Chains A and B, each alone.
Chain A
Amino acid sequence: MGAVSSRRTERLLNLVICLAASRRWLTKEHIRAAVPQYADCDTPEAFDRMFERDKEDLRDLGIPVVTGTDERWFDDEPGYRIDRDDYALPPIELDAQELAVVGLASRVWQQASLAGPAARALTKLTSLGVDTDQDMDGLEPRIRTAEPAFGPLYAATRDRQVVTFTYRKPNGDAAAREVEPWSVASRNGRWYLIGKDRGRGAARVFRLSRIESDVKRRGRAGIYEIPEDLDAQQMIGKHVPSTDERIATVLLRTGRGAGVRRQAVATIASAEKPGWDELQIRIGDAGMLAQALAGLGPDAVAVTPADLRAEVIRLLKGALGAQAAQIQSENPKMRVG
Chain B
Amino acid sequence: MSAVAATARLSRLLTMVPWLLNRPGVELGEAARHFKITEPQLVRDLELLFVCGTPGHMPDDLISAEWDSGRIYLSNADAIARPLRLDPDEAIALIAGLRTLADLGDVNDLGDRRAVDSALVKLSAAAQDAVSAANRVDIDLTPGPGGAEATLRTAREALRLHRRLRLHYLVPARDEITERDVDPMQVTSIDGRWYLEAWCHRAEGVRLFRFDRVAGLRLLEEDGTPPPQAVSRAGDEQLFTPSEDDLVVTLEVEPRGRWVAEYYPVEQTEELPGGRLRVVLRVAAPDWIPRLVLRLGGAGRIVSPPGLADQVLTSAAAALAGYEH
Contacts and interface: CB of A to CB of B under 8 A. Distances in A.
A18 B56 CA distance: 10
A62 to B, nearest CB: 4
Interface stretch (B11-19, B65-73, B201-209, B241-249): B11-19
Contacts of A121: 86, 90-91, 93-94
B79 interface: yes
B230 interface: no
A158 B136 contact: yes
Contacts of B284: none
A319 interface: yes
B60 interface: no
Nearest to B251: A326
B298 A16 contact: no
B48 A9 contact: yes
Q: Dominant SS at the B interface?
A: helix
Interface in A40-61: 57, 60-61
A89 B320 contact: no
B126 A90 contact: yes
Interface residues of B, number: 135
Q: Dominant SS at the A interface?
A: helix
B48 A323 contact: no
Contact of B292 (A22, A60, A122, A295): A295
B172 interface: yes
Interface residues of A, number: 132
B57 A189 contact: no
Interface in B149-164: 155-156, 159-160
Given A17-B79, A239-B144, A10 B85 contact: no
A133 interface: no
B317 to A, nearest CB: 6
A258 B188 contact: no
A331 B257 CA distance: 24
A262 B322 contact: no
24 contacts: A5-B2, A5-B5, A14-B53, A20-B80, A57-B3, A89-B83, A98-B119, A102-B119, A114-B89, A114-B92, A140-B187, A141-B100, A172-B255, A172-B276, A188-B140, A188-B192, A258-B175, A297-B316, A298-B318, A316-B319, A320-B313, A326-B303, A326-B309, A336-B313
Interface of A: 1-2, 4-6, 8-10, 12-14, 16-18, 20-22, 30, 33-36, 57, 60-63, 84, 86-90, 92-95, 97-102, 104-111, 114, 117-118, 120-129, 136-144, 154, 157-158, 170-173, 181-190, 207, 209, 226, 232-233, 239, 241, 255-259, 261-262, 291-292, 294-298, 300-301, 309, 312-327, 336-337
